Structure 1
Amino acid sequence: MPLVSIVTPTYNSEKYLAETIASVISQTYQDWELLLIDDASSDNTLNMIREFADKDKRIRFFQLTENSGAGIARNKGIEMAQGNFVAFLDADDLWKPEKLEKQLKFMEEKDADVCFTAYELINEEGQALNRLVTVLSEVDKNKILKANYIGNSTGIYNAEKLGKIYMPPIRKRQDWALWLRCIEKAGSAYGLQENLAGYRVRKNSVSSNKINLLKYNYIFYRKACNFGAFKSGVYLLRFLFEQFFVKSRLITTHTT
């Protein structure tokens, strides 16, 4: 059975982390390792991580000496990964119990090296908001340059075939850049149209602040894609159209 390396960056995550880790432990597919990379937390996060790691040897952790951002933390996790596949789970998101099992089976059937799934939106208390983010069946480089169609906590790539793929050293939107790099190597990413994760909507997230969202997207095009200023501006306009007239239609009402 292939080993899946799950990379989770943490920073002052004590409020949500236990539930997140529990969603990994309860997976029906059990050949995994969970790599928790703490980004110099000042709360009780590290002690929580140690407690889980003491109880389950599949859980490993590393502490960064100074706060460096989620991208640096994720890259450390990728560096530590020993698995055939690399998956990502943010410290406040949740997986459905059958997430890994169904996704790996789908990847085998599709001969897919990059895969992502549909997911539901949950509030800060973990309650369903009855909103489902559906997915495109396939995303190529042209499509992902317009907008990030891959929910980071649903994404998996085949490190055995593609090699380890890292995130660029940008503070925000580095996950978008990683999936772009994965698609550049694999050709396409394939979407599994099944709700297998919960994304926690938080008040201070990048996506909740539209001005910051545009700023970080511009930086993504400039630094992660190496586009010039004019080309970055053009792609930012394409993003706005894609986000509000195309991608927004993937969010549907969902009742459990």
Structure 2
Amino acid sequence: MDQTIAIVTPAFAAQSTIVPTVRSVLAQTYPHWELWLVADDGFNYEALLAAAGIVDRRIHFAESGGVGRGVCHTRNVALELSQTPFAATLDADDRFKPRKLELAVAALADHPIVSTALDVMSEDFTHVRHVGHGDNQVLTSGTHKWVNLSMDSMIVWDRRRADGRYDPAMRNMNDLEFLLQLFRTVPASRHLGTPLHDYIKRSQSLSNGDDVTARMIASKTEILRRLDTGHYGLPGQEAEGVAAFLRISLEAETRYGAALAEQPNLLFEDHLEPMLAAAGAIK
């Protein structure tokens, strides 16, 4: 049985980060993967990797068809080109830990969606905090966000049982929107509490200017609207679980600027988590 994983990696101005990202894929203990590196900036990443000594027949290179078409369109290009039963996302400045794919594939035997805890790191790969770490557990669409907090792009999924396409109309929160598409046909996912994905916090992501806040609020509000209209076909209790998280997250957005002023470089996760705990959701 084919158990190949397509790793979807959009690349825009990723020249300074892509080599360690690709090397983390080459270091996987699970060998049955193909990496789809899709350039959204017209750059020749194949030549760049070759100059770094990276040549592997499992790495496929493609173009988004333009420049700056966006992460959603670029990921969709890879999903259309690949024919594998499994897929995973890996941004061009993040890294897999060596057993990420091995453990995810094992979990896919019972659950079509697998999420993993994150090792949040600074740009020099210094550990900052973990997100979603702890025991392995089964999550529903309504409980997923309460564990995974603010990041949803680190999933692995069985495309035969759950699939979708990223919505280019969503400027932010497109990872959650995509995940909710997957939950249309899947009652529960498996969350691996071991940090298996290095999520790199870039300096520009540590601030939340007015424009960023406005975009986040607009995207979260749109997902709430879709939940209210039954767009994802989720059971009422599950839809309410997502909606309850988003309402608290929206409140956190409105307070984040002031919190940053008092505590520079405050992570949104560290800002959000106490608010969730106050709501009785985090023990």
- TM (norm. structure 1) is 0.80
- 1:8-37 CA distance string (max 9 Å, x none): 011111111000000001101000000011
Q: In the superposition, relative to structure 1, how do residues 5 and 167 fare at CA in structure 2: closer, same or farther (>3 Å)?
A: same
User: What does residue range 8-157 of structure 1 map to in structure 2 within 5 Å?
Assistant: 8-41=9-42, 45=45, 47-49=47-49, 55-64=55-64, 65-108=66-109, 111-129=110-128, 131-135=129-133, 137-144=137-144, 149=149, 151-157=151-157
Shift of 1:159: 0.5
Shift of 1:190: 1.8
| Alignment partners' CA distance in 2, 1:203 and 1:84 | 36
Are the aligned partners of 2:177 and 2:223 in contact in 1 as well (CA < 8 Å)?
Answer: no
Structure 1, unmatched stretches of 5+, are 252-256
Partner residue of 2:249? Answer: 239
Structure 2, unmatched stretches of 5+, are 229-242, 253-271
Q: In the superposition, relative to structure 1, how do residues 161 and 59 fare at CA in structure 2: closer, same or farther (>3 Å)?
A: same
Answer yes or no: is 1:168 the counterpart of 2:167: yes
Are the aligned partners of 2:171 and 2:219 in contact in 1 as well (CA < 8 Å)?
Answer: no
| Alignment partners' CA distance in 2, 1:32 and 1:220 | 33
Which structure would you say has the larger Rg?
A: 2
Shift of 1:134: 2.1
Root-mean-square deviation (Å): 3.5
Shift of 1:82: 1.6
- 1:158-214 CA distance string (max 9 Å, x none): 00222x311111222211111111122212222111111111011212x64164245
- TM (norm. structure 2) is 0.73
Shift of 1:140: 2.3
Are the aligned partners of 1:53 and 1:61 in contact in 2 as well (CA < 8 Å)?
Answer: no
Q: In the superposition, relative to structure 1, how do residues 201 and 134 fare at CA in structure 2: closer, same or farther (>3 Å)?
A: same
Shift of 1:63: 1.5
| Alignment partners' CA distance in 2, 1:87 and 1:13 | 19
SS in 1 for 2:118: strand
| Alignment partners' CA distance in 1, 2:213 and 2:46 | 30
Identity across matched positions, percent = 24
Q: How many residues align?
A: 244
- 1:33-68 CA distance string (max 9 Å, x none): 0001111156x6463256689821111111222211
